[in-house]
């Protein structure tokens, strides 16, 4: 059976119109004669969405009973039995109720696709597995429901349903997305303008990456090696020399000429004829790349031109920017075409820009003599021996005299040494033998014969060959050591690059894995701790299409590499393994340090506690002592009215002292982490109503706007009531007498918010964190208000219930304290 086609409508945030777009497409397909059914649509009470469902066949939902609750889910078996051509399924990332056929709705969709049913579905960017943590950093709202990236990337079509951020906020203000009582909380939290802009960019970038990946898959499947210039991608080759900044800025200007152009900088560490790279210059150039909006890469390769072209093709580059060679003309003449000429010849359809710069080579600069003895150099040495010997012989014969034999011998010796420096051992031995025969034939009597009559001459010739061999051995050994040194430099540069990534805040393990795969030209790499993937890069599941090798980092932790690993790369792998082991150990130590931090915080709280005891506890204690002492001293002579007043004073002081001691005990328990918190499903109204009764507040002082319906939170009812009492006490104290305090509730993103808004003077933005410090009253000198522990305790109680307590500005003036708590989810609790 042919698998169905999947079309995904991706949104940056709720309310952009994904469901309406899906229903519009369903109605269009139905008008075209396609068999379309609605597998599941969530209207969220929106009348416009519900109206669009009319006229479409809707498969009734199935009811799943869980812990006494009936939950409505998509009836997968009914949709499969109906066997439509197209099914509309809303909210792809939804978690099904326990007892359903699958745990996730995307798995239901996968089953429909296997049955040959085309599916149109919707999902928000915050529900994509690889992005949900990024979205949480942006919005502060964690996401428990996610969809795997692999499933979305297998979709036949992904479309972004786009809406400008301000237009979405206008829709919220108009009551199109949420009821009126939830609009204020939504606009102040998830739907801030900055959040929406960031989420919109995230959605568009994810889609752009998906398009790039789809294009790359298509080219791989059809064996297309040519570059498709769908958009400009500029690669700048960096050598670590002073010309790097010039090349980067030129590359950035080229990329900027086309909308959406990308900039990549690459440094190839290899055995080349250029000067050794300057690490400080590379660090500065990497920083410049990031400032210009590009990405920095580092690869290791013996053949620099081939490595540059291979990297450019791997990123689908359309432009390659390189600098004019820093070698002089003489060096270019002796060593042949440089990197630039080779890159131009091998680049194919990639445009190559050779940029001149102030560090270009001088006219007669001499080349360095060190280097590895490649096949090309040995051939050059042999050619020098074949051509240099006859030319030298012709010159010496023309200038021959009876006294010139010494200079003739030294000239040939010089030729042998030069050949040894250029070509190594075997060309030098050939030149030595050829020179010895030539000397005997043209310059030693009897002339024009190869005859050694004097044994001393034979010894001289042997010494001649021995000197040539010794010079050649020294050159070979120096070349091998130079190769080893350059390889070590390549490894150190790789480690330096990774260290730079970590210093800038990147994940150390992930940075090491990325750099290892890129430097060794691997298909993929990942770090495994048992079955858990700690970090991965590239393609790591090729089903036997590429060799896989593993390297143990620590007991239970391995590095898995997909692709060919050359024998020369094994030493580098040892370096990477050591760095990975150190990074994993650093992560463990960081987690331990994070666990110790609360202990230090509790010590600071205890210090502040001791400083407050001498002042705030002394007043009620002194008042009670004085009142009791007065009653005792006056005895029976004290009037009944005075006795009653003194006893009332003592009772009030002791009550205040008891309340203060209770707060001190609670803050001590919070700081030491031993406060017992028993979270249960709680209706927020059951904490708000008793708080109002405790404070004796009525409609004149407090206005209620509770919009959480029957939603419950996971909280400790007693502690939640104390939090509400503290917040109401502060709000009523600072509000004008004719302005009631507003207490409202709303739900969003799996959390419920209790908002206590006053119309008082508010708190400056830079001082809001101070209100949550113990023993702080922000200049309030009224000692009857307590120790200044109310908000500190409230935040501690709320955080102990896995919530957040944050201050916000009240629209129109004042301060709003927001309590955010997790919503009780019966299905999640069961799992």
Residue after which a domain boundary falls, among 479, 509, 541 = 479
**Is the pLDDT assigned to residue 828 strictly greater than 90?**
no
Q: Per-residue pLDDT tens for 664-702?
A: 565 555 555 545 677 889 999 988 988 888 788 888 889
What's the 3-state SS for 435-449? HHHHHHHHCCCCCCC
Instruction: Tell me which residue has tokens 């060794």.
Output: 520
**Is the pLDDT assigned to residue 766 strictly greater than 50?**
yes
Helical (H) or strand (E) element with 698: none
Helical (H) or strand (E) element with 238: strand 233-238
Residue 554 in any domain: the answer is no
Q: Could you tell me the residue range of the domain that residue 806 belongs to?
A: 680-830
Query: Residue 394: is it exposed, middle or buried by C-beta count within 10 angstroms (0-12/13-18/19+)?
Result: exposed
The rounded Cα 537 to chain-centroid distance in angstroms is 12
Residue 227 in any domain: the answer is no
- Interior CA angle at 440 toward 438 and 446, to 5°? 135
Long-range contacts of 55-60 (CB under 8 A, 24+ apart): 55/27, 55/30, 56/23, 56/26, 56/27, 56/30, 56/88
**pLDDT value at residue 180:** 60
Based on the domain organization, do 766 and 701 belong to the same domain? yes
Q: In 10 A of CB 315, how many CB atoms?
A: 17
> What's the rounded Cα separation, in Å, for the pair 3 and 364?
69
Based on the domain organization, do 339 and 389 belong to the same domain? no
Q: Per-residue pLDDT tens for 564-587?
A: 776 656 666 766 777 778 778 777
Based on the domain organization, do 240 and 284 belong to the same domain? yes
Side-chain-side CA neighbours of 630 within 13 Å: the count stands at 18
> What's the rounded Cα separation, in Å, for the pair 296 and 237?
10
Q: In 10 A of CB 455, how many CB atoms?
A: 8
Based on the domain organization, do 178 and 72 belong to the same domain? yes
Residue after which a domain boundary falls, among 479, 500, 534 = 479
Based on the domain organization, do 207 and 100 belong to the same domain? yes
Residue 102 banded pLDDT, cuts 50, 70, 90: confident
Q: Residue 695 corresponds to which tokens in the numbers above?
A: 């404070």
**pLDDT value at residue 783:** 40
Least confident of 229-238, 306-315, 782-791: 782-791
Query: What is the number of H-type helices and E-type strands within the chain?
Result: 26, 24
Least confident of 617-631, 644-658, 754-768, 800-814: 617-631
**Is the pLDDT assigned to residue 85 strictly greater than 90?**
yes
Based on the domain organization, do 702 and 825 belong to the same domain? yes
**pLDDT value at residue 789:** 59
Residue after which a domain boundary falls, among 160, 186, 221 = 221
Phi, psi of 757 (to 5 degrees): -110, 130
CATH of the domain at 243: 3.40.50.620
Tell me the pTM: 0.40
Residue 514 in any domain: the answer is no
Q: Residue 60 corresponds to which tokens in the numbers above?
A: 């009734």
Sign of the Cα pseudo-torsion (158, 163, 165, 170, in order): negative
Per the structure, the count of domains in the chain is: 5
DSSP state string for 635-662: GGGS-HHHHHHHHHHHHHHHHHHHHHHH
**Is the pLDDT assigned to residue 627 strictly greater than 80?**
no
Phi, psi of 172 (to 5 degrees): -65, -45
DSSP letter for 523, please. S
**pLDDT value at residue 521:** 74
Based on the domain organization, do 351 and 397 belong to the same domain? no
Residue 778 banded pLDDT, cuts 50, 70, 90: very low
Q: Is 227 left (phi over 0), alpha (psi -120 to 50) or beta?
A: beta
Based on the domain organization, do 689 and 781 belong to the same domain? yes
**Is the pLDDT assigned to residue 266 strictly greater than 80?**
yes
Q: In 10 A of CB 276, how many CB atoms?
A: 12
Residue 791 in any domain: the answer is yes
The more confidently predicted of residues 346 and 60 is 60
Based on the domain organization, do 420 and 463 belong to the same domain? yes
Helical (H) or strand (E) element with 324: none
Residue 252 neighbours by CB under 8 Å, 6+ apart: 234, 263, 292, 293, 294
Q: Per-residue pLDDT tens for 456-473?
A: 767 766 776 777 677 767
CATH of the domain at 789: 3.30.565.10
Based on the domain organization, do 712 and 791 belong to the same domain? yes
> What's the rounded Cα separation, in Å, for the pair 435 and 393?
9
548-557: average pLDDT: 78
Q: Per-residue pLDDT tens for 120-152?
A: 999 988 888 877 777 887 877 777 788 888 888
Residue 278 neighbours by CB under 8 Å, 6+ apart: 240, 241, 242
Based on the domain organization, do 655 and 716 belong to the same domain? no
**pLDDT value at residue 113:** 93
**Is the pLDDT assigned to residue 112 strictly greater than 90?**
yes
**pLDDT value at residue 524:** 84
Burial 342-359 (b: 16+ CB within 10 A, else e): bbbeebeebbbeebebee
Residue 702 in any domain: the answer is yes
Residue 490 in any domain: the answer is no
Strands (E), 149-220: 157-161
Mean of pLDDT over the chain: 76
Helical (H) or strand (E) element with 260: none
Q: Residue 639 corresponds to which tokens in the numbers above?
A: 């009037």
Helical (H) or strand (E) element with 785: none
DSSP state string for 441-483: HHTSSSTTS----SHHHHHHHHHHHHHHHHHHHHHHHHHHHHH
**pLDDT value at residue 152:** 85
Q: Per-residue pLDDT tens for 329-383?
A: 544 554 455 677 788 888 777 888 888 766 555 444 333 333 446 677 778 888 8
Residue 601 in any domain: the answer is no
Residue 266 in any domain: the answer is yes
Q: Per-residue pLDDT tens for 22-38?
A: 999 999 999 999 999 99
Which one of 55-69, 75-89, 536-550, 688-702 scores highest in mean pLDDT?
75-89
Separation of first and last alpha carbons in the chain? 34
DSSP letter for 147, please. B
**Is the pLDDT assigned to residue 502 strictly greater than 70?**
no
Q: Residue 494 corresponds to which tokens in the numbers above?
A: 């790789």
CATH of the domain at 149: 3.40.50.300
Based on the domain organization, do 395 and 267 belong to the same domain? no
Query: Residue 13: is it exposed, middle or buried by C-beta count within 10 angstroms (0-12/13-18/19+)?
Result: buried
């Amino acid at each position: 059976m042919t698998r169905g086609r999947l079309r995904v409508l991706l949104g940056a945030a709720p309310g952009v119109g994904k469901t309406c777009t899906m229903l519009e497409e369903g109605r269009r397909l139905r008008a075209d004669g396609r068999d379309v059914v609605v597998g599941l649509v969530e209207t969220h009470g929106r009348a416009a969405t519900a109206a669009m469902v009319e006229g479409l066949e809707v498969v009734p939902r199935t009811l799943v009973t869980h812990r006494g609750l009936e939950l409505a889910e998509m009836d997968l078996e009914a949709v499969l039995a109906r066997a439509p051509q197209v099914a509309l399924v809303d909210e792809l990332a939804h978690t099904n109720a326990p007892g359903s056929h699958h745990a996730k709705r995307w798995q239901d969709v996968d089953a429909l696709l296997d049955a040959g049913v085309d599916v149109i579905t919707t999902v928000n960017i915050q529900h994509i597995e690889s992005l949900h943590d990024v979205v949480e950093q942006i919005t502060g709202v964690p996401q428990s429901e996610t969809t795997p990236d692999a499933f979305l990337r297998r979709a036949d079509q992904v479309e972004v349903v786009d809406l400008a951020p301000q237009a979405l906020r206008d829709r919220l203000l108009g009551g199109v997305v949420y009821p009126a009582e939830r609009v204020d909380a939504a606009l102040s939290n998830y739907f801030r303008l900055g959040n929406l802009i960031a989420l919109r960019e995230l959605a568009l970038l994810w889609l752009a990456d998906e398009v790039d990946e789809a294009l790359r898959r298509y080219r791989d499947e059809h064996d297309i090696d040519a570059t498709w210039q769908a958009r400009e991608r500029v690669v700048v080759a960096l050598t670590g020399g002073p010309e790097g900044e010039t090349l980067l800025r030129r590359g950035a200007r080229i990329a900027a000429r086309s909308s959406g152009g990308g900039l990549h900088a690459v440094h190839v560490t290899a055995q080349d004829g250029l000067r050794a790279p300057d690490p400080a210059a590379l660090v500065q150039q990497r920083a410049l790349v990031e400032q210009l909006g590009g990405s920095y890469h580092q690869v290791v390769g013996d053949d620099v031109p081939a490595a540059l072209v291979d990297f450019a093709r791997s990123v689908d580059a359309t432009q390659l920017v390189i600098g004019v060679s820093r070698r002089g003309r003489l060096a270019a003449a002796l060593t042949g075409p440089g990197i630039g000429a080779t890159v131009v010849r091998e680049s194919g359809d990639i445009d190559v820009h050779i940029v001149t710069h102030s560090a270009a080579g001088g006219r007669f600069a001499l080349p360095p003599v060190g280097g590895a003895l490649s096949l090309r150099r040995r051939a050059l040495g042999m050619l020098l021996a074949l051509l240099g010997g006859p030319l030298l012989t012709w010159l010496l014969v023309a200038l021959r005299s009876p006294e010139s034999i010494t200079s003739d011998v030294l000239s040939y010796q010089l030729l042998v040494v030069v050949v040894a420096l250029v070509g190594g051992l075997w060309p030098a031995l050939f030149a030595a033998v050829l020179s010895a025969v030539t000397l005997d034939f043209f310059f030693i009597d009897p002339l024009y014969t190869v005859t050694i009559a004097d044994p001393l001459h034979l010894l001289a010739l042997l010494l001649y060959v021995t000197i040539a061999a010794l010079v050649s051995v020294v050159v070979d050994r120096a070349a091998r050591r130079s190769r080893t040194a350059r390889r070590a430099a390549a490894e150190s540069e790789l480690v330096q690059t990774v260290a730079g990534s970590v210093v800038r805040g990147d994940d150390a393990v992930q940075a090491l894995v990325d750099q290892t795969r890129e430097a060794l030209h691997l298909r993929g790499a990942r770090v495994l701790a048992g079955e858990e993937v700690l970090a991965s890069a590239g393609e790591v599941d090729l089903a036997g299409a590429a060799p896989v090798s593993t390297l143990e980092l620590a007991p239970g932790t391995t590095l898995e590499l997909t692709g060919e690993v050359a024998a020369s790369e094994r030493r580098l792998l040892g370096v990477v393994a050591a760095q990975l082991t150190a990074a994993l150990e650093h992560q463990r130590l960081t987690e331990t340090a994070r666990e110790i931090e609360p202990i230090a915080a509790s010590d600071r709280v205890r210090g502040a506690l001791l400083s407050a005891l001498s002042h705030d506890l002394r007043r009620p204690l002194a008042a009670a002592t004085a009142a009791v002492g007065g009653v005792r001293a006056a005895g029976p002579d004290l009037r009944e009215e005075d006795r009653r007043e003194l006893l009332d004073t003592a009772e009030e002081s002791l009550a205040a002292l008891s309340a203060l001691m209770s707060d001190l005990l609670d803050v001590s328990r919070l700081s030491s982490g031993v406060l017992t918190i028993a979270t249960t499903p709680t209706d927020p109204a059951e904490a708000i109503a008793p708080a109002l009764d405790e404070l004796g507040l009525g409609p004149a002082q407090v206005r209620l706007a509770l919009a959480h319906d029957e939603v419950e939170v996971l909280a400790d009812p007693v502690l939640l009531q104390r939090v509400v009492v503290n917040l109401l006490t502060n709000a009523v104290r600072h509000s004008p007498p004719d302005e009631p305090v507003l207490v409202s509730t709303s739900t969003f993103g799996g959390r419920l918010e209790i908002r206590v808004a006053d119309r008082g003077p508010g708190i400056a933005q830079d001082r809001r964190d101070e209100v949550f410090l113990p023993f702080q009253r922000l200049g309030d000198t009224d000692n009857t208000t307590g120790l200044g522990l109310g908000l500190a305790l409230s935040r501690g109680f709320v955080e102990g219930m896995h919530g957040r307590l944050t201050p916000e500005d009240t629209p129109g003036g004042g301060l709003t304290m927001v309590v955010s708590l997790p919503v009780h989810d019966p299905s999640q609790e069961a799992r």
